[in-house]
Amino acid sequence: MQNEMPSNTQANKQGMDFLDLGSGRPLGAIVERSKTIFRLFAPRALRVTVTFFQDLENPAPDTRELIRMDDGVWEETHHRNLHGWYYYFHVYSPKPDIAENGMEDPDHSGQDREKDNVLEDAEDTGDGHPKTDGVQSDASDTQTDTEGRNPDSPDDPPLPILDPYALAAVSPAGPGIVWDKNKWPGNKTAKRKTFTTPAYSDLVIIEAHIRDLLKEAPITLEEEERLGFSGLEKWVREDGCYLKSLGVNTIELQPLQEIGDHYAKEDYHWGYMPVNYFAPDSSYSLHPERGSQIEEFRSLVKSFHDEGFAVLIDVVYNHVGNPNPLYLIDDEYYFHRDGKGGLTNWSGCGNDVRCEAPMARRLIIDSLRHFIEYYDVDGFRFDLAHLIGVEVLEEVESALRKVKPSVILIAEPWSFRGHLGLDLKHTGFASWNDGFREFIYRYLCGEGNQEGLHYFMGGSTRHLTAGPTQTVNYVESHDDRCWIDKITENPEHRGDHPTATDRRRTHLACAIIMCSLGIPMISAGQDGLRSKQGIDNSYRDGDVNAIDYQRIIEYAGTHDYFRNWIRFRLSERGKAFRLATTPANSFFRYFGAEQSSATAIQYNADKSHDATCLLFAVNPHKTVMHIHMSEGPDLSRWKQIADHERFEERGLGTMRFRFQGGVLMLPPLSCGLWEEG
């Protein structure tokens, strides 16, 4: 049975707008005892089919027509439990409207060009269809039109589509795998959890890529285990695991929802080109054809929890990778267009999702809930959240807090179109603070000022945030050059052989991050002076990105410096750095050197909090600086517990900074931490 749907132009003439269509029906492949229901939202499709089969090597495919409902959803019920079977959809879309003058309707201009761009990276098997690991069309070797059909044979099927709601996939091109949720490992592990997610104010985050952690990990692993979830679980459970040595309590994993734009399992990728939002990435699993990624990722999250780590995953909802299933289902519904009909590209990745569209918004929320309910993840970092929009982010927060009140939500608040940091002040989102990142870089190169440092170390509460837990303070992430390459004195940003000054500035950056109100974040390997040899975009270079554990041993003093600061911050004595709300102005007292950016900050100066009084001082210059503190605390009665090289919680026994006559003398490129009593 074929059910016609009005075209965009026809719908508008009839007072309908397909862009506002939505449905509350469960979507995907839904197993209910002895039957499997296939549902797909395709509001303008002329026809939709589903093809399913049990054997990848020798498929005997069964293709069924779906029936269109009145809300843009297509449905077919097969009276058999197809758990573990493979499937994909075909969507037959309308041709571009032709105006009376014989030209394409301007609302559809640019589709041919953009369709080619969207599909150009799909691996060609010689038949005009992307490779699907053993499941290919019988179509002849001919050119396809903009909808993936052979223009000379209009009855040929369009490209096979990986179900956006598939719970597992064999590869980025599909097929999807039917999965009975009643057979889920642990059956909703979130309801059995014993791990308690830390409060925002208690987080210390490390951002890491699965394969970067594993490639050179000093542990016996099979080569395939070094590619993904199972190997990382073994590394996390090792006594000598780097993450446990460092002492962070939260890991933010770079994207791991099914990743496109690569074709071999071993291909390295950062993961920012997703093609499905429910399935853990097939290339990170040992047996993707069996759906092993489901159990492997669930077990990985449990291992992190068992070892005391909260798990955040980086999610990318602002654009879609290739092969692009949402584009093949309905490009106009799911993607923004410019004035000429082409795809907008504020993401820099070729397309921008219409996140505000009802079913795009639902896809986002449904998939996030899925990762909480079935994998027990603790939170998410939203890539280019500016393109998602504040209204959608508010709905995301509302929906997820009903499932997990402690969920951690972090936004990357910018895009090539703008910045929404200020617009998130009334929400429960934290944001990556790019202002902090750039200011600290300039400050430690001698170009900042005292006031700027006070603002950022105070949680950015005077402008950007409504409270300190809304800022994620960092100086390095996966993007752009890593810290040591950015600040090195060496030419061409070559930080692979850092100078003594490079190392010292790294220590000062660590101290500033750990003493700042807000959420501290470091990048994996930063504590070992990680270098990418000056490369500013290493998104496909696994050898460059791999954590060099031998280098961390070489710079063990720097690793220990980070580790000791993290341990102190998370201790009872470091409570003054971990405020959940904005303190009164009297909480801080500031002291400074004349005509210099060197400064000292006293915490809990008004004794308003149940926390030890602390004082942090920093000198980013290459000359000695004198901090005048005649009206401040008498540091001769306080205990210095850290400087730019050492951290001794019992107090530095020798070579403490000189304090005399109310003046603190700071050596060049130095910092110090004092504790009252």
Give the strand pairing for 310-315 and 250-253.
parallel
Question: What pLDDT was estimated at residue 119?
Answer: 42
Given 181, 203, 224, which residue is the final one in a domain? Answer: 181
Q: Does the pLDDT value for residue 314 go beyond 80?
A: yes
Could you identify the residue written with the tokens 């679980």? 233
Q: For residue range 69-98, list pLDDT tens digits in order.
A: 999 999 999 999 999 999 999 999 987 654
- Give the pLDDT of residue 96: 63
Strand order in the sheet with 73-78: 28-32, 35-41, 73-78, 67-68
Is the pLDDT confidence value at 104 over 80? Answer: no
- Angle (CA) 205-269-299 rounded to 5° is 55
Lowest mean pLDDT among 139-148, 218-227, 385-394: 139-148
Contact 48, 40 (CB under 8 A): yes
Residues 514-521, mean pLDDT to the nearest whole number:
98
Q: Specify the pLDDT at position 187.
A: 57
168/174 Cα distance (integer angstroms): 9
pLDDT tens per residue, range 363-389: 999 999 999 999 999 999 999 999 999
Q: Looking up tokens 């993961």, which residue turns up?
A: 271
Give the model's confidence band at 118: pLDDT under 50 very low, under 70 low, under 90 confident, else very high: very low
Residue 600 lies in a domain: yes
Residue 597 belongs to some domain of the structure:
yes
Per-residue pLDDT tens digits for 596-644: 999 999 999 999 999 999 999 999 999 999 999 999 999 999 999 999 9
| 378, 371 Cβ separation under 8 angstroms | no
pLDDT value, residue 11: 37
Give Dmax (Cα) for the chain: 92
Report yes or no on 46 lying in a domain: yes
Instruction: Please give the average per-residue pLDDT across 573-595, as a whole number.
Output: 97
Q: What is the pLDDT of residue 677?
A: 84
Q: Calculate mean pLDDT across residues 274-296.
A: 98
In sequence order, what E strands does 268-422 have? 310-315, 379-382, 408-411
Instruction: Give per-residue pLDDT as tens, 27-59.
Output: 999 999 899 999 999 999 999 999 999 999 999
Any domain includes 156: yes
Q: Residues of the chain with pLDDT > 70: what percent?
A: 87
Computed on alpha carbons and rounded to an integer, the radius of gyration of the chain in Å comes to 27
For residue 528, report the phi and psi dihedrals to the nearest 5 degrees: -115, 25
pLDDT at 7: 38
Is the per-residue pLDDT at 192 higher than 60? no
In this structure, is residue 99 part of a structural domain? yes
Predicted local confidence at residue 466, as pLDDT = 97
Question: How much is the average pLDDT of 101-113?
Answer: 37
* Residue 581: Cβ within 10 Å count: 12
Instruction: Tell me the average pLDDT across 248-262.
Output: 97
Side chain identity at residue 631, one-letter code: E
- Please check whether residue 668 lies inside any domain of the structure: yes
Residue 33 CA to residue 316 CA, distance in Å, equals 33
CB neighbourhood size of 240 (10 A)? 11
Q: Supply the range of the domain harboring residue 151.
A: 8-181
CB–CB of 651/628 below 8 Å? no
Whether residue 144 is predicted with pLDDT greater than 50 in this model: the reply is no
Q: Are 467 and 427 in contact (CB under 8 A)?
A: no
The burial class, CB within 10 Å (0-12 / 13-18 / 19+), for 405 is exposed
Q: How many CA atoms lie within 13 A of 229 on its CB side?
A: 26
- For the stretch 403-436, pLDDT in tens is 999 999 999 999 999 999 999 999 999 999 999 9
- The per-residue b/e assignment along 367-388, b for 16 or more CB within 10 angstroms, e otherwise, is bbbbbbbbbbbbbbbbbbbbbb
Q: pTM for this one?
A: 0.91
Residue 448 has pLDDT above 50, yes or no: yes
Tell me which of 181, 212, 240 is where a domain ends: 181
Of the candidates 27, 8, 112, 122, which has an alpha carbon nearest to the alpha carbon of residue 75?
A: 27
Give the confidence band of 125 by pLDDT, cuts at 50, 70, 90. very low
Q: Place 135 in a pLDDT band, splitting at 50, 70 and 90.
A: very low
Which of the four pLDDT bands, split at 50, 70 and 90, describes residue 667? very high
Domain-ending residue, one of 157, 181, 205: 181
Task: Specify the range with the lowest mean pLDDT, choosing from 6-10, 522-526, 560-564, 663-667.
Answer: 6-10
Q: Is residue 278 part of a domain?
A: no
pLDDT at 533: 95
Question: Average pLDDT in the 472-480 region?
Answer: 97
Quote the number of domains for the chain. Answer: 2
Chain centre to alpha carbon of residue 676: 39
What is the C-alpha to C-alpha distance for residues 401 and 414, in angstroms, rounded to an integer? 24
Q: Look up tokens 């939170």; give the residue.
A: 379
Percent of the chain at pLDDT above 90? 85
Is residue 145 over pLDDT 50?
no
310-327 residues labelled b (16+ CB within 10 A) or e (exposed): bbbbbbbbbbbbbbbbbb
In this structure, the dihedral spanned by the alpha carbons of residues 207, 210, 216 and 217, taken in order and rounded to 10 degrees, is 90
**How far apart are the C-alpha atoms of 602 and 48, rounded to whole Å?**
66
The pLDDT value given to residue 130: 30
In a domain, 539, yes or no: no
Residue 133 confidence (pLDDT): 30
Name the token pair of 9. Answer: 């132009």
- The identity of residue 221, as a single letter, is L
| Whether 248 contacts 204, CB under 8 Å | yes
Q: What is the CATH number of the domain that holds 643?
A: 2.60.40.1180
| Backbone torsion region of residue 133, taken as left when φ is above 0, otherwise alpha when ψ lies between -120 and 50, otherwise beta | left
Q: Above 60 in pLDDT, residue 132?
A: no
Q: Angle, nearest 10°, between helix axes 500-515 and 450-457?
A: 50
C-beta of residue 506 within 8 angstroms of C-beta of residue 483: yes
Name the token pair of 7. Answer: 């075209």
Question: Average pLDDT for residues 448-469, to the nearest whole number?
Answer: 97
Q: Is the pLDDT of residue 262 over 50?
A: yes
What CATH number has the domain bearing residue 103? 2.60.40.10
pLDDT of residue 122: 35
